[in-house]
């Protein structure tokens, strides 16, 4: 991606993010519980960025998972650059989920955290991708780093279906299942879709930037002739 | 339901400050590497 295209994507992503915030603060009506018509309170506007951030975390980590498979199949560095970019982006967005979730939980349930299936499996996801980033940081050889990270990138992603099905598997103790009743209101639906689009643009922007940095670092490494590294072969 | 807009603004400020901070870190890393 050229410098201009990269800057344009970044500017668009941040403009969409600003618009998304404006929509859920000033355009969306106060949320009403579709089940009993009770008002849910102002803190429930956290819904409009907590849920899209969680969805786009999944999308970014799916990107990393697919790029990791791509690397193991093709063994070309570009797959690894994108796997790294998507993984770091997914971890950054997962952090947003872990910041906004407990604050919302405090308002809704009276406690910041409870060790119930969805929260616990999501925290495990955050730790797995933190381990992924630490692993990348700890290996200097690009080929070895790419191979090890691809394996971890595939294993770590297996937690996502576990998060998704956690409520069905173990029942909902705290975190509610998706409440599609909200989607019947077009204003609420459009607000959440606009915020999801904004997070998707932001994720693409972050991932592309990060992939470009990995590419630049690898290009720097590649100028060292193979003979100088002892001609070590990597299986 | 108690007045909870303070919670909303705390979550909003922390979440988006984190994202802006990450944007800044990307810019900083690129600037350092030239």
In the prediction, which pLDDT does A108 show? Answer: 84
In the prediction, which pLDDT does A224 show? Answer: 54
Question: Taking CB atoms and an 8 Å limit, are A92 and B19 in contact across chains?
Answer: yes
Across the A/B interface, how many CB contacts are shorter than 8 Å?
Answer: 70
Task: State the helix-helix crossing angle for A117-138 and A159-170, rounded to 10 degrees.
Answer: 170
Q: Is B3 left (phi over 0), alpha (psi -120 to 50) or beta?
A: beta
Q: Could you list the pLDDT tens digit for every one of the 235 residues in chain A?
A: 678 999 999 999 999 999 999 999 999 988 887 777 788 888 889 999 999 999 999 999 999 999 999 999 999 999 999 999 999 999 999 999 999 999 999 988 889 999 989 999 999 999 999 999 999 999 999 999 999 999 999 999 999 999 988 877 877 666 776 666 777 889 999 999 999 999 999 999 999 999 999 999 988 776 555 545 544 444 4
Question: Taking CB atoms and an 8 Å limit, are A213 and B16 in contact across chains?
Answer: no
A132, two tokens: 């992924």
Chain B nearest-CA distance from A147, in A, is 24
C-beta separation of A120 from A211 below 8 A: no
C-beta separation of A86 from A64 below 8 A: yes
Instruction: Report the predicted TM-score, pTM, of the whole model to 2 decimal places.
Output: 0.90
Query: How does DSSP classify residue A23?
Result: I
In the prediction, which pLDDT does B18 show? Answer: 98
Residues in chain A within 8 Å Cβ distance of B30: 209, 213
Question: Taking CB atoms and an 8 Å limit, are B26 and A209 in contact across chains?
Answer: yes
In the prediction, which pLDDT does A176 show? Answer: 74
In the prediction, which pLDDT does A172 show? Answer: 63
Per cent of chain B over pLDDT 70 is 82
How many angstroms separate the CA atoms of A219 and A121, rounded?
37
In the prediction, which pLDDT does A185 show? Answer: 87
Q: Is A159 left (phi over 0), alpha (psi -120 to 50) or beta?
A: alpha
Q: Does A95 touch chain B (CB under 8 A)?
A: yes
A63, two tokens: 């990107």
Which member of B1, B19, B26 has the closest CB to residue A96? Answer: B19
Burial grade of A132 (CB within 10 A; 0-12, 13-18, 19 or more): buried
Q: Round the average pLDDT of chain B to a whole number and report it.
A: 87
């Amino acid at each position: 991606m050229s410098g201009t295209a990269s800057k344009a994507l970044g500017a668009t992503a941040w403009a969409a993010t600003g618009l998304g915030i404006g929509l859920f603060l000033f355009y969306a009506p106060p949320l009403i519980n579709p089940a009993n018509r009770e008002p849910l309170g102002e803190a429930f506007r956290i819904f409009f960025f907590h849920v899209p951030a969680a969805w786009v975390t999944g999308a970014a980590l799916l990107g990393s998972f697919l790029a990791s498979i791509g690397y193991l199949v093709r063994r070309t560095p570009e797959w690894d650059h994108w796997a790294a970019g998507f993984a770091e982006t997914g971890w950054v967005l997962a952090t947003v989920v872990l910041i906004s979730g407990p604050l919302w939980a405090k308002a809704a349930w009276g406690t910041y955290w409870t060790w119930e299936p969805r929260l616990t499996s999501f925290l495990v996801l955050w730790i797995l991708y933190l381990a992924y980033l630490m692993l990348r940081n700890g290996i200097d050889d690009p080929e070895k780093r790419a191979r090890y990270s691809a394996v971890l990138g595939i294993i770590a992603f297996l937690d996502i279906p576990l998060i998704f099905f956690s409520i069905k598997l173990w029942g909902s103790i705290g975190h509610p299942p998706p409440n599609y009743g909200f989607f019947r209101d077009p204003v609420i639906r459009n607000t959440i879709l606009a915020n999801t689009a904004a997070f998707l643009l932001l994720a693409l922007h972050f991932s592309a930037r990060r992939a470009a940095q990995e590419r630049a670092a690898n290009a720097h490494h590649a100028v060292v002739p193979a003979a100088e590294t002892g001609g070590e072969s990597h299986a | 339901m108690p007045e909870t807009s303070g919670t909303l603004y705390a979550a909003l400020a922390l979440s988006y400050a984190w994202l802006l901070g990450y944007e800044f870190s990307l810019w900083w890393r690129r600037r350092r590497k030239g």
